[in-house]
Structure 1
């Protein structure tokens, strides 16, 4: 399974960075060809057991990235937050460990992910990790920059 880490510094307070990163409606807006659906679609509504699906594709051709929140603790202005999200799809497997912590007058966002794609040989894990890291780094930057 491939793994990568994205570490970003933000001028936003930790609770606001957390809110923006876990605004699942915004993921639909910033990730090309992807629509996220679920019952809980915002940071304040996500709880252990929350399920959501990121469908990437065009028309009937695509794949579903099924995710379940295993653990979640929201940050405050003086305490870090964390979310552990398991990927349970038929094609995409793995886990996300998200941490948002206060840092000076802003915050740090750390996204650690293990990702496996069915049918892709382990030999290509370094390529999968690099491509995924670039895509997630871009998406996270765009999420943090959104005001909505």
Structure 2
């Protein structure tokens, strides 16, 4: 299993950064080749046990990434928010820890992920981690930039 961490500072207040990152209705527009096929809801509709599925692919080639929210506490103006999400797909498994922390007038978004990709040998975990860090870093920056 590969592990990576992405930290993105934002001028947005923590509650707004949280809303933008976890609003599943926006993912189809901002993540290339991915669409939410089940559970497309706003951030404030997610709770423990919420399940959603993201389909990644091109045409008939692709895979479903099933995720379940284990824990979720939105941030306030002074306190950090935390979400723990479990990935249960056949191709991609692992876990996500999202923390959004107020910092001055803005915030910091921390995304930590353990990921295992079916068919990718453990010896290539470094590659999976690098690719994940790059892809999720880009996605987080897009979410924060587009209201």
Question: What TM bracket, shorter-length normalisation?
Answer: over 0.9
- Where do residues 11-50 of structure 1 align in structure 2 (5 Å cutoff)? 11-39=11-39, 41-50=41-50
Which TM-score applies when normalising by structure 2? 0.97
Structure 1, unmatched stretches of 5+, are none
CA distance in 2, matches of 1:6, 1:37: 26
8 Å Cα contact 1:13-1:105 kept in structure 2? yes
8 Å Cα contact 2:25-2:40 kept in structure 1? no
Aligned residues: CA RMSD: 0.9
CA distance in 1, matches of 2:37, 2:46: 13
Say how many residue pairs are matched.
147
Which TM-score applies when normalising by structure 1? 0.97
Q: Which runs of 4+ in 1 moved over 4 A?
A: none
CA distance in 2, matches of 1:136, 1:126: 15
CA distance in 1, matches of 2:11, 2:83: 21
- Where do residues 1-148 of structure 1 align in structure 2 (5 Å cutoff)? 1-39=1-39, 41-147=41-147
CA distance in 2, matches of 1:69, 1:14: 20
Q: Secondary structure at the match of 2:45?
A: coil
8 Å Cα contact 1:40-1:46 kept in structure 2? no
